Amino acid sequence: MIKKTLFVSGINLAGKLLGLLKIIILASIYGAGSQYDAYVVAYTLPTLLPQILTTIITTIFIPQFHKRDRNTKESWQGLNVLFTAVLFISLTATILLYFFSHQIVVALAPGLAEGTIVKAVSLFEIMSISTFIIGSSSFLISLSNAREKFYLASLDGLIINSIIIVYCIIYSLDSNIETIAKLIIIGFFIHFILLIISNRDTIIKYIRFSFLFKHEDFLKPISRSIPIVIGYIGAVASGIVDQWFTSYEDNGSISVLSYATMLYLLPMEVFGKAIMQTYFTRFSTTSSYPDRLMRSYNEGFKLLLFVVLPISLYLMISNEVLISLIFERGEFSSDDAHMTSLVLSALALGLSFRIIAYFNYRLLHAVNKSWIAISIGLVGVITNLILNNILSIYYGLIGIAVATTISLLISAVISCMLIKKYYDINYTVFINVNLIKITATSLTVLLAYNWATGLVFSDRCLFTSCTIIYNYLILIMIPIAFIFLGYLLKIQEVVDAIKFIASK
């Protein structure tokens, strides 16, 4: 399982690194201004809704898939009804998004200037097409995950980001934001075709349109999906709430929040998502065996802490040089970099809370306690709304980021308390010598990093060739120094990883 997690993490990492490069290029072209604000508003909902559908279908599909042998056409009847329903929902959502684009944009970001709203509506109409493509892909992604082809779900990032990077390099400052939106659609379509090709044997043999909506294999999982649907509507609501309040801030604030959020979610998308995908499958297959289930949970939880804690500390206390290095060029000013750094620091404090909460939700879904997971998520949404309403008045964009962190903390604590209640798990076992070693090693490396970068960063001499190379070398040394010190201190995960690599 760890090997699969590492492989999926590698695919995710490649896609996200290309995504980071894409954002760097777009930031240099558009900076933190009205055009990128419009792009963010237009991109969010048409792509987020089908991605949520993918998560919902996967949550339903994988446990259902493993309940019986899927080697006859009859055994696929219920799943084929699900396939038919997914296509219908995706098509309907696409039509609604396209024809009500203006009303939706105004509802998402009412505080934007009129010109920005007009641009956002134009982009939104283009991006609405992606809803059908990604929604249709959701069934195939679920099928791939059930067959443990986890890497297929992550290929869209590699494809889309590569296309946009090549386009921006060729056309540079002459690049058009509408063309970029169209290239995103093309990338999603290519991913869809690859999913079909990779699953063609199963599709040809078993997948058919089916309208037997009363079929038991469809009704039971759909009834269990109702709390999941409500929960992910809540998950969407958190981002929409943040964007709604941010639209009333200064021009470019949505862009700044988007840049900071991208960096903040990068560890979640690369490592956290891979861990949750692989362990959710194990939770589903061991849900009837509490001892085995808890062993899997303990293993996954320890892995999460090892990966996320050092990254959270870095993004919280050492991100200023990173943001200046990767973003501060072209139209992205030093003021934009400073504001992005402040927002990222506030968000990074909640990164560990977010990943722990989402990991716990996967366990609760796997053991058919979805309503509990959803209720916790809705508490977080309500908390976020209340805190946004208060903190944004006094602290602006920073207050919006802090509100997100506090709501995630509450969700993580509640989910851990309930899992402890149901499975009598002792979370204090995770606060051990190994965790202290991880924390101490991380802080030591970061203190050395801050000192080393401070030698040149204090004078803001970041853009001479020597200082750029120097700072990137220091940045690269962070994981190397962590692994070296971790091995000396015998951090269990570091030792195991080195042994695994050596054996291969």
For every residue of 176-210, DSSP letters joined together read: -HHHHHHHHHHHHHHHHHHHHHHTHHHHHHH----
Domain count, the chain: 2
Instruction: Single out the residue in 398, 431, 464 at which a domain terminates.
Output: 431
pLDDT at 19: 83
User: How far apart are the C-alpha atoms of 162 and 21, rounded to whole Å?
Assistant: 9
Distance, in Å, from the CA atom of 193 to the CA atom of 108, rounded to the nearest integer, reads 32
Q: What pLDDT score does 504 carry?
A: 64
Decide if pLDDT at 114 tops 90: yes
Q: Kindly state whether residues 398 and 465 are assigned to the same domain.
A: no
pLDDT, mean of residues 379-385: 92
pLDDT value at 15 more than 80: no
Mean pLDDT of 276-299: 82
Q: Indicate the pLDDT class of residue 1, thresholds 50, 70 and 90.
A: low
Q: Mark whether 458 and 398 lie in a shared domain.
A: no
Both 337 and 255 in a single domain? Answer: yes
Query: Same domain, yes or no, for 373 and 458?
Result: no
* pLDDT the model gives residue 3: 61
Q: Do 200 and 282 belong together in one domain?
A: yes
Q: b/e map of 51-73 (b: 16 or more CB within 10 Å)?
A: bbbbbbbbbbbbbbbeeeebeee
Instruction: Kindly tell me if the per-residue pLDDT of 5 is higher than 80.
Output: no
Q: What is the number of H-type helices and E-type strands within the chain?
A: 19, 0
> Given a cut of 80, is residue 221 above it in pLDDT?
no
Of 182-186, 238-242, 441-445, highest mean pLDDT: 182-186
For 187, counting Cβ atoms within 10 Å of its Cβ (0-12 exposed, 13-18 middle, 19+ buried), the class is: buried
Residue 416 and residue 464 in one domain: no
Is residue 224 over pLDDT 70? no
Q: Which of 408, 431, 454 is the last residue of a domain?
A: 431
- Considering the domain architecture, whether residues 484 and 347 belong to the same structural domain is answered as no
Does the structure show a pLDDT above 60 at 458?
Answer: no
113 and 133 housed in the same domain? yes
Which of the listed residues 431, 452, 473 is the one where a domain comes to its end?
431
Cα–Cα distance, 296 to 282 (Å, whole number) = 7
pLDDT at 408: 93
Question: Mean pLDDT, the chain, as a whole number?
Answer: 84
Residues 240 and 314 placed together within one structural domain of the fold: yes
Whether the per-residue pLDDT at 403 is higher than 60: the answer is: yes
Whether residues 176 and 81 fall in one domain? yes
User: 490 lies in which domain range?
Assistant: 432-504
- Same-domain status, 266 and 382: yes
Q: Do residues 361 and 448 both lie within one domain? A: no
DSSP 77: H
Long-range pairs for 74-77: beta carbons < 8 A, 24 or more residues apart? 76/206, 76/207, 76/208, 77/210, 77/212, 77/215, 77/217, 77/218
CA 11 to chain centroid? 14
23-37, 104-118, 294-308, 397-411: range with lowest mean pLDDT:
294-308
Q: What is the mean pLDDT of residues 289-304?
A: 86
